[in-house]
Amino acid sequence: MKNIVIGSDHGGFDMKQKVMDAMKEIQWSDVGCYDSSSVDYPDYANLVVQNILEQKFKFGILICGSGQGMAIRANKFKDIRAALCWNAEIAKLSRAHNDANILCLPGRFISAQDAIECIKVFLNTDFEGGRHSQRVAKLSKM
């Protein structure tokens, strides 16, 4: 069973609930939000990032309305590679070529089934390394 940290804002709350309910094979650590009341997405991105940086989890998932705000915030941190994905092919490439460690999903723009497929592909795709390793190393440099 995989252990994954997940967070959302109000715009991603419904999608978060749907994927967690549908994917019982994953042990979820839900850092919020816990209802659809308006919240600030950076707060929840910070919680997921903190769990990744403290090595409590290898991967995280962030969901907001567009996915963009979560991705922007998460990518402010060194060694975080948050990828905004809206289909399985993008999710696969984000892992294989970019060694992404956080999947960001647009809760208002994709179906629950597409989100679930993105998560499955993201979690089951290995980083290819090779020529991509040098490029990924440059992402953490200023």
Taking each helix axis from N to C end, the angle separating 112-123 and 13-22, rounded to the nearest 10 degrees, works out to 60
- Please give the full DSSP string across 72-136, using - where no structure is assigned: HHHTTSTT--EEE-SSHHHHHHHHHTT---EEEEETTTS-HHHHHHHHHHHHT-----THHHHHH
- DSSP-assigned beta bridge partners for residue 82: 102
Which is it for strands 26-30 and 60-64: parallel, antiparallel or unpaired? unpaired
10 is an active site residue: no
Q: Is 140 helix (H, G, I), strand (E, B) or coil?
A: coil
HSE-up of residue 119 (Cα within 13 Å, Cβ side): 30
Q: Which of 18, 92, 97, 108 is catalytic?
A: 97
Tell me which residues are annotated as active site. 97
